[in-house]
Amino acid sequence: MIRINGVNKFFDDFQALTHIDLEIGRGDVVVVLGPSGSGKSTLCRTINRLETIDDGSIYIDGEKLPEEGKELARLRADVGMVFQSFNLFPHLTIKDNVTLGPTKVRKMSKSDADKLAMELLERVGIANQADKYPAQLSGGQQQRVAIARALAMKPKVMLFDEPTSALDPEMVNEVLDVMTDLAREGMTMVVVTHEMGFARKAAHRILFMADGQIVEDTDPESFFTNPQTDRAKDFLGKILH
Ligand SMILES: Nc1ncnc2c1ncn2[C@@H]1O[C@H](COP(=O)(O)OP(=O)(O)O)[C@@H](O)[C@H]1O
Ligand SMILES: [Mg+2]
In CATH, what number is assigned to the domain containing residue 146?
Answer: 3.40.50.300
Q: What is the per-residue pLDDT across 202-236, written as a single tens digit (0 to 9) for each?
A: 999 999 999 999 999 999 999 999 999 999 999 99
Q: Specify the DSSP class assigned to residue 84.
A: S
Q: Please give the model's pTM, rounded to 2 decimal places.
A: 0.95
User: What is the count of structural domains for the chain?
Assistant: 1
Q: How many CB atoms lie within 10 A of CB 27?
A: 13
Cβ-contact 88, 149 below 8 angstroms: yes
Cβ-contact 143, 111 below 8 angstroms: no
Question: What percent of the chain has pLDDT above 90?
Answer: 89
Q: Classify 91 as helix, strand or coil.
A: coil
Whose C-alpha lies nearest to ligand 1, atom 25? 37
Q: Which helix (H) or strand (E) holds 189?
A: strand 188-192
Ligand nearest to the CA of 35: 1
Q: Classify 87 as helix, strand or coil.
A: coil
Q: Which of 15, 18, 42 is the best mutation target for the ligand 1 pocket, counting ligand atoms within 8 Å of the beta carbon and taking the most?
A: 42
Pairing state between β 188-192 and 205-210: unpaired
Q: Is 111 in the pocket of ligand 1 (CB under 6 A)?
A: no
Whose C-alpha lies nearest to ligand 1, atom 27? 37
Domain carrying residue 135: 2-238
Q: Is 37 in the pocket of ligand 1 (CB under 6 A)?
A: yes
Q: Is 38 in the pocket of ligand 1 (CB under 6 A)?
A: yes
